[in-house]
A and B are shown apart, each in its own frame.
Chain A
Amino acid sequence: MTIIIDYGVGNIFNVLNAFRKIDPDTKLSADPKAILTATHIILPGVGAFEDAMKALKTLGLDQTLIEAVDMKIPVLGICLGMQLLYEKSLENGTWQGLGLIPGTIDLFDKDAVSTIPHMGWNNLVHTAKSPFANIEGYAYFVHSYLAPLDPQYVYAYVDYEKSKVPAIVGRGNVYGMQFHPEKSSALGAKLIKQFYKLTQEAL
């Protein structure tokens, strides 16, 4: 059973639709007990980092997610959900994240890019260690903040003007996608399938 964390931020129905096509037993939940029985956990999210983190904390789900990772349940963060996996974010202040991946989320360097948000389809470039390297093509991005380009955790990035933007990141059983796989047409579906394949092998 796949659980999509339902913590009241953003539109999660598209995420639900996309994951149900791959794991029909996909549910929305904010219940820590249910979440800890999942085979896979999806952390979606759009909007502001601060609001999202507060919502997770209010529901006690920050601890649940950390516990789930300790229990080796694979977690996939999508868009803002990916950014929440990091230690902290500098989005309109300084905010603590879940700390599951080391590093700080920051605004695009305005000298490197002319247009913010980074919005549209961009071509994935896989790093040597990418477990998704067999899947090439364009994914749909929309975000104004980005993760650090730390080679230890970046599986794929995209070139956006003079900036290299981490697109797929991971550490152990924790994965993150900065783009929206649920909105990335056939390529997105392939990436989701690969996430299941990788994590089943890991289990």
Chain B
Amino acid sequence: MLAKRIIPCLDIKDGKVVKGQQFENVITIADPLEIAKYYSDTGADELIFYDIMASTEDRGPFLNLVSEIAKTINIPFTVGGGVKSIDDFDALLKSGADKVSINTQAFLNPHLIKEASLKYGAQCVVLSVDIKKVADDYIVFTHGGRTNTGRTAIDWILEGIQLGAGELCINSIDADGSKKGFDLPLLKSIESKVTVPIIASGGAGDKMDFVKLFKETTISAGLAASIFHSKKVSIPEVKFELQREGIPVRSYFAPLFDAKLIPAIVQSAQTSVVLMLAYVNAEALEKTITTGYTHFYSRSRQSLWFKGETSGNKQALVDLRYDCDNDTLLMRVDEAGPACHTGSYSCFNQMPEDKNVFTQLMTVIEDRKANPVEGSYTNYLFEKGIDKILKKVGEESAEVIIGAKNSKEELLYEMADLFYHSLVLLANQNIDISELEAELKKRFK
């Protein structure tokens, strides 16, 4: 089955990858070759490079960089920006680009699409279109989203395909930078009317946005920039989520199994404690992904091992990723019980650190403040306000003094009351307990 493609997009300025929002406010983040290799190694299906200054600086595209990219990665890549003529196509393809993306220049000179398509084949002509909703219509914008052409998107897209575009990249200006998900209404309005592959662009904010894209449309690829560049989400995480949802993706684990067994570190997602280390083969990993529970390969029994199958202490997979050189897995799990066969929480005999009781108490107080509970004394204090709380702190202070004179038990009881009311006072004044801790820590000499 044809896999859905995940495509990181790299905007290039002055030889560096940059990150911008809503087509503006650009900041530099990385070396393009380094980042291209990183994405290629972690399972990107294609890459797109945009020379964002070529048009502004009125020069041709960055050929040197393109040939360096071609030597560095062995997955397909598209180049766009500053492509004005068939000579630019020729130079880019000869430098090693697999596809060339054209946007404003195609709009100004539609014949370029036809010329390139006839000469090099439709498959290497990507028509990129920036679209914004104006009143009730989807309108084509050019010049980096600054110029309203007044032409409806579907009208231009159909002409572009007729002329020979082999793929579409649909950029929603409205969704771009919003991180609220792809512009599904826009994409749905286009997908049913065209027969070429579509890359959806603009709006990806987390991995579930890709799941929604591929579940709700027939779009073949999802493009994103900032969520990958900022490392908010990794490509393996996106693919893992898609795989779990039954959406076909090119498994990013394939390179792992040149070796027969891979070590997997299992970590509690709740407590961050390392629970155990075990080994997986290709079958165990597939089972882990498809069932959502950890499976390993038992070296002693030489067979597949479903963790918790008999003991009930299963581990539900929360996240899966591999390390920098692709030879170790990290599985973050929600554990149903102890990880170790000895009954211990972790095979390394480590317990989750309990939060101290003050932090726990403060959590409850903050929760009452945010979500009031009827009949709660804490909520009664918040309702009455600062004067009532201060009065109680004063009273409890006096009671501590009296209690200390009477008995240890009474002192403890009154001191607990004082601490509780002091924490309510902090919460009422919007002071976090960490600020109190910091203040106390300052006093250590």
Q: How far is the CA of A177 from the CA of B366 in the complex (A)?
A: 64
Are A115 and B197 in contact, with the CB atoms below 8 A? yes
In the bound assembly, the distance between CA atoms of A138 and B248 in angstroms comes to: 11
Give B83-128 interface residues, CB cut-off 8 Å to A: 93-98, 118-124
Q: Is the Cβ of A10 less than 8 Å from the Cβ of B120? A: yes
**Residue A109, interface by CB 8 Å:** no
Residue of B nearest to A119 (CB): B197
A189 cross-chain contacts in B, Cβ below 8 A: 74
- Judged by a CB distance under 8 angstroms, whether A196 is at the interface is no
- Residue of B95, B96, B124, B250 near A138 (CB, 8 A) is B250
Check: A47 CB closer than 8 A to any chain B CB. Answer: yes
Interface membership of chain B positions 59-100, coded 1 if the CB is closer than 8 angstroms to chain A and 0 otherwise: 000000001001100111000000000000000011111100
Within 8 A of B (CB), among A183-203: 183-189
Closest A residue to B71 using CB positions: A17
Interface size class of chain B, counting residues whose CB lies under 8 Å from the partner chain: 35 or more
Whether B218 and A48, one on each chain, are in contact in the complex, defined by CB atoms closer than 8 angstroms, is no
User: Closest A-chain residue to B44, C-beta based?
Assistant: A185
Interface readout for A172-184 with B: 1 if CB under 8 Å, 0 if not? 0000000010111
* Cβ contact within 8 Å between B3 and A121: yes
Asked if A11 is at the interface of the complex by the 8 Å CB criterion, the answer is yes
Is the pair A119, B220 in contact by a Cβ cutoff of 8 Å? yes
Contacting residue for A183 out of B2, B76, B251, B255, CB 8 A: B76
Check B70–A117 contact: CB distance below 8 A.
no
Give a binary string over A105-140; 1 marks a CB under 8 Å from any B CB, 0 the rest.
000000000111111111100000000000001101
Task: Give chain A residues whose Cβ lies under 8 Å from the Cβ of B51.
Answer: none
| B70:A121 contact, CB within 8 angstroms | no
The reply to whether A115 and B1 form a contact with Cβ atoms under 8 Å apart is no
Binary CB contact string for chain A from 27 to 53 against chain B (1 if under 8 A, 0 otherwise): 000000000000000000011100000
A/B pair count, beta carbons within 8 Å: 108
Q: With A11-B93, A120-B221 in contact, is A183–B121 under 8 Å at CB? A: no
Inter-subunit contact B196/A185 (CB<8 Å) = no
Cβ of A138 to closest chain B Cβ, rounded Å: 4
- The reply to whether B2 and A114 form a contact with Cβ atoms under 8 Å apart is no
A46 near B67 with CB under 8 A, answer no
A residues less than 8 Å from B251 (CB atoms): 137-138
Q: In the assembly, what is the distance between CA of A115 and CA of B195, in Å?
A: 5
Q: Are A47 and B74 in contact (CB under 8 A)?
A: no
Tell me the bound Cα distance from A47 to B118 in angstroms. Answer: 8
A13 contacts which chain B residues (CB < 8 A)? 67, 70, 94-96
With A47-B121, A138-B251 as contacts: A122 and B75 at CB distance below 8 Å: no
Determine whether the beta carbon of B2 is less than 8 Å from that of A160: yes
Q: Is the CB of B1 within 8 A of A123?
A: yes
Whether, in the assembled complex, A14 has its beta carbon less than 8 Å from a beta carbon of chain B, the answer is: yes
Give the distance in Å from the alpha carbon of A186 to the alpha carbon of B71 in the complex.
Answer: 14
User: Is there a chain A Cβ closer than 8 Å to B166's Cβ?
Assistant: yes
Chain B CB count within 10 A is highest, among A13, A48, A185, A187, for A185
Q: Which residues of A contact B3 (CB under 8 A)?
A: 120-123, 138
A121 touches B40 (CB 8 A): no
Interface check B183, CB cutoff 8 A: no
Indicate if the CB atoms of B93 and A121 lie closer than 8 Å. no
Q: What are the 6 tightest A-B residue pairs by CB atom distance, in nearest-first order?
A: A138-B250, A121-B250, A121-B3, A142-B123, A47-B121, A11-B93
Q: List 28 A-B contacts (CB under 8 A).
A: A10-B93, A11-B94, A11-B96, A14-B96, A14-B98, A17-B70, A46-B120, A114-B195, A114-B218, A116-B195, A118-B2, A119-B123, A119-B166, A119-B167, A120-B197, A121-B2, A121-B250, A122-B3, A123-B1, A123-B3, A137-B251, A138-B3, A143-B123, A144-B166, A184-B74, A186-B74, A186-B255, A187-B254
Question: Which residue numbers of A lie inside 8 Å of B, CB to CB?
Answer: 10-11, 13-14, 17-18, 46-48, 114-123, 137-138, 140, 142-144, 158-161, 180, 182-189
